[in-house]
Amino acid sequence: MSRIDRFSVPLLVSVLVLGSYSAAVTAATAELKINQNKQCIMCHKRNGKMFGLHANDALDLTCQNCHGEKTGHPRKASELIGFATKSVAKSADQTAVCLQCHDVETLSQADWTHDVHSNKVNCASCHQLHPEVDPIIGVTAPERSEMCRDCHSAN
């Protein structure tokens, strides 16, 4: 066997293995435990699936941990909570759900803006938990500044 073959064959094999592995990973994200929650996913197939960090099987979270119990939803009254600016839930109530696990001190260390916004806006104004990566992670400085401008504007 020539020298090139000696290297290229294992390389090719590893590429194939890695390729199939990543395919398996994408398949797995669709089948995360949290997304097998029949009670919710039966209707919210399109707008309810969870791919972010919080979907991690090891965390063992369910939709109900954050959104609350279904009770009468969708026909009757329920205690369900939505996370967005348009949600009927008050900002403070939305933030309180996140603060069940995230403590103020750690948030403060992660970013100073937490300190001055925590009781004024909801977390969802900046963070999104459902997509695979929270768009605020790795945001560039000009983009970040633009986000400030979205609310803080004298004009």
Partner 1 sequence: MKNSRRLFLKSACAVVVGASGYTIAKSSTESVEMDGKKYALVHDETKCIGCDACSIACREVNQVPEGVSRLEIEREGPYGEYPEQYFRFTRKSCQQCEDAPCVKVCPTGAAYKDPETGIVSVNSWKCVGCQYCIAACPYQVRFINPVTHAADKCDFCKETRLKEGRLPACVSACPTQALTFGDLKDPDSNLVKVLKTAPNYRSKTELGTRPKVFRIASQEGDITL
Enumerate binding residues for partner 1 (CB under 8 A): 104, 108, 112, 115-116, 118-119, 141-142, 144-145, 148-149, 152-155
Q: How far is the CB of 3 from partner 1 (least distance, A)?
A: 44
The residue (of 24 and 154) whose beta carbon lies closer to partner 1 is 154
The residue (of 2 and 119) whose beta carbon lies closer to partner 1 is 119
Q: How far is the CB of 21 from partner 1 (least distance, A)?
A: 38
Instruction: Say which residues have a Cβ less than 8 Å from residue 142's Cβ, sequence separation at least 6.
Output: none
What gap in Å lies between CA 91 and CA 112, rounded to an integer? 19
Q: How far is the CB of 93 from partner 1 (least distance, A)?
A: 14
Q: How far is the CB of 120 from partner 1 (least distance, A)?
A: 9
The residue (of 55 and 107) whose beta carbon lies closer to partner 1 is 107
Distances 21 to 7, 24, 48, 67, 81 between C-alpha atoms, Å: 21, 5, 26, 33, 37
Q: Tokens 């390389």 — which residue?
A: 11
Alpha carbons within 13 angstroms on the beta-carbon side of residue 36 total 8
The residue (of 33 and 114) whose beta carbon lies closer to partner 1 is 114
What gap in Å lies between CA 48 and CA 8, rounded to an integer? 44
The residue count of the chain comes to 155
